[in-house]
Amino acid sequence: MTMPPGLRKLALTAHLVVSIGWIGAVVAYLALGVSAMTSEDTPTVRAAWIAMEVTGWFVIVPLAVAALLTGLVMALGTPWGLFRHYWVLMTLVLTILATVVLLLHMPTVTSLADQARSVDDAHLGGLGGDLLHPGVGLVVLLVITALNVYKPRGLTRYGWRKQQEQRTAPVP
């Protein structure tokens, strides 16, 4: 089932907006992590951790889920399909992986933000910053973006079978 052109463009626009937003939010989160790691000013470190928690739960997580859902809509509603091309399948797997890692990591961010709120200034410097998860996440999101732009060739077995069925189907 393919979507009519107007609906497809609307779905594509929504997918692009949330996907690009996800990348931008991760970049902002990384900037906060660098600030928490490098600043010697305790109010800055405290504010950075609180902002990372808020950004994570209220911006990054919703954008990740929305990118996953709109990506599924795009795959299922266009001729690309969900299981026909390796690049679509890899994009799906990487998006699911990034979203699951994000959801598993966010409680740690909340715990560290709670520590930032409650510890005295002398112990706040030991919190550091959060760079590994968002750094790797950003690389994964850029790989997903590249896959979606370049669309490397390669049909899955299912995609090859569907293509053969379409070629041999009688024309009405």
- pLDDT exceeds cutoff 80 at 167: yes
Residue 86 pLDDT: 93
DSSP 8-class letter at 155: B
User: For residues 31 and 129, is the Cβ–Cβ distance under 8 A?
Assistant: no
Calpha distance 104→125 (Å, rounded): 25
The pTM for the full model equals 0.91
Q: Is the pLDDT of residue 126 over 80?
A: no
% residues pLDDT > 70 (the chain)? 99
Identify the residue with better confidence: 171 or 28.
Answer: 28
Range 104-111 average pLDDT = 97
Closest CA to 26 of 72, 50, 70, 61: 61
- Taking the C-alpha atoms of residue 39 and residue 20, their distance in angstroms, rounded to an integer, is 28
Mean pLDDT of 124-133: 85
* pLDDT score recorded for residue 6: 96
Q: Return all residues near 122 (Cβ < 8 A) that are at least 6 apart.
A: none
Give the tens place of pLDDT for each residue, 72-85.
999 999 888 899 99
Residue pLDDT, tens place only, 4-51? 999 999 999 999 999 999 999 999 999 999 999 999 899 999 999 999
The residue whose two tokens read 């590249």 is: 146
How many alpha carbons lie under 13 Å from residue 137 in its C-beta half-sphere?
30
For residue 120, what pLDDT is reported?
Answer: 86
Q: Kindly give, in sequence order, each residue whose CB lies less than 8 Å from that of residue 19, ignoring residues fewer than 6 positions away.
A: 63, 67, 70, 71, 141, 144, 145
